[in-house]
Structure 1
């Protein structure tokens, strides 16, 4: 007799809810996206949808109608009535008995949530700046795919939290900085903005695109070049960039105080430029 146990309840395998047989739960076999809205409009929605399509194609989930997904997201967002929302969705390869390959009849499963962003809390963090700590980059070798496999990111974030920090900055086996556990990462040396170049080991951050645009507008020279942790400690400023909070200044890197311990002037200029530009990408 085939059985299943959910918490302390024993049921027959045939009674097991289908959601417990999702390949996303068993294997992390799926991809996801997160977008946000500003004042009732989605920010960079098409850019996120394009990356989502690329992630689906990269893992071979090709029987998804992206036009239908667009409609579902917009419809749910409008129904939510949340002006400043965080919209999360994912698609897994499907549901079925636990098997690495899976059967030929797998049907992709879509899941989405819409929650309200705490803008007051975010503003406080922006004003005071955040602390970050470093952690080994234990992720797989295709970080350019926004997959559901996030255990290494979780471990890094939990380590940072245990140290009283707001984010973990990852570094590879050679000691080079890659990115944050859930963000893009930038350092500033005088009037030069430096970030690690994109590769299969770096997520092609959507917010990163707009940060680079802002950097040009405010007069920062862009340098896309790898750098080690010791170099980062000597930066005059640094910040993270992430969908839900855009640009947030970093005031402490491990035990090193950055600049004068306050959010830097270049970071402030970039933040204001980002705010000025964002209406162009809202819809």
Structure 2
């Protein structure tokens, strides 16, 4: 008799709900997106859907109707009635008894949540502290995969240090990005961030942060930084879907400039907001 145990309850294996057999649980075999709304309007939905389609293709999950995903997202958002919401959704390869290989005919599983976003005025006004952590992730971080254990451990380490984000440093001693964000530095009138490679997520918020930078007169350099270079920057910030531009005022315990959000970062926050109306 094949069985399963859920907490202390034993059940026949053939009576398990499909959620317990999801390859997303066993292997992180799926991809996801996080997007948000501003004042009742979903921001950058098409950009997120395009990236989602690219992630699906990259791991070989075929036959997903992006138009259907779009309508599901909109329906869930409208039903929730939350003005400033975080929308999370993922697709896994499907449910089956655990084994590494998979049947190409598996039906993908879809899941979505809509949650209210907390107010972020305080962190935008005061900035956050960040700390560095080794980049232990796999070599295809350009795919928005459910495999996030390395990110989770890095963020947990940052939290233990009283920091809001972990900034990941690769084996060459250079910063790739944050555990859940894009990372930027400002030197004079230059905006610097890592170039998009297989080790850096093509962040939607990164794209709009760069656009905002150009609009306020910053010249872009796409080149990774060392932690020492980051501490020497005039300003630092992270870019993340749920909070857009967030000033970084302390890096590995060192104050950045005077320890307050810089003038360009403040301008970028306002400029980014203009994209959302």
TM-score range, shorter chain: over 0.9
Partner deviation per Cα, 1:69-122 (whole Å, 9 max, x = no partner): 111111111111111000000000000110111224310000000000112xx1
Q: Which residue pairs with 1:203 in the alignment?
A: 201
Partner deviation per Cα, 1:23-76 (whole Å, 9 max, x = no partner): 000000000001100111100000000000000000000111111111111111
Q: Which residue pairs with 2:48 in the alignment?
A: 48
Say if 2:140 is the partner of 1:142.
yes
Q: Distance in 2 between matches of 1:271 and 1:257?
A: 20
SS, match of residue 122 in structure 2? helix
Q: Distance in 2 between matches of 1:276 and 1:94?
A: 40
Q: Distance in 2 between matches of 1:200 and 1:259?
A: 32
Q: Distance in 1 between matches of 2:148 and 2:111?
A: 17
Q: Distance in 2 between matches of 1:65 and 1:92?
A: 14
Residues matched between the structures, number: 277
SS, match of residue 69 in structure 1? helix
SS, match of residue 213 in structure 1? helix
Q: Which residue pairs with 1:69 in the alignment?
A: 69
Say if 2:121 is the partner of 1:123.
yes
Partner deviation per Cα, 1:185-217 (whole Å, 9 max, x = no partner): 001111111001000000000001111111111
Q: Which residue pairs with 1:227 in the alignment?
A: 225
**Deviation of the 1:255 alpha carbon:** 1.6
Q: Distance in 1 between matches of 2:11 and 2:94?
A: 22
Which segments of 5 or more consecutive residues in structure 2 lack a partner in the other structure? none
SS, match of residue 83 in structure 1? coil
Q: Distance in 2 between matches of 1:170 and 1:194?
A: 16
SS, match of residue 89 in structure 2? strand
Q: Distance in 2 between matches of 1:46 and 1:204?
A: 14
Change (3 A) 1:104 1:205: closer
Q: Which residue pairs with 1:96 in the alignment?
A: 96
**Which stretches of structure 1, 4 residues or more, deviate above 2 A after TM superposition?**
none
User: Structure 1 stretch 215-224 or stretch 157-166: which is displaced more?
Assistant: 215-224
Equivalent residue in structure 1 for 2:182, among 159, 181, 184:
184
Q: Which residue pairs with 2:265 in the alignment?
A: 267
Q: Distance in 2 between matches of 1:39 and 1:67?
A: 24
Q: Which residue pairs with 1:168 in the alignment?
A: 166
What is the CA RMSD across the aligned residues, in angstroms?
Answer: 0.7
User: Structure 1 stretch 225-234 or stretch 156-165: which is displaced more?
Assistant: 225-234
Q: Distance in 2 between matches of 1:99 and 1:233?
A: 46
**Deviation of the 1:5 alpha carbon:** 0.6
Equivalent residue in structure 2 for 1:258, among 242, 256, 259:
256
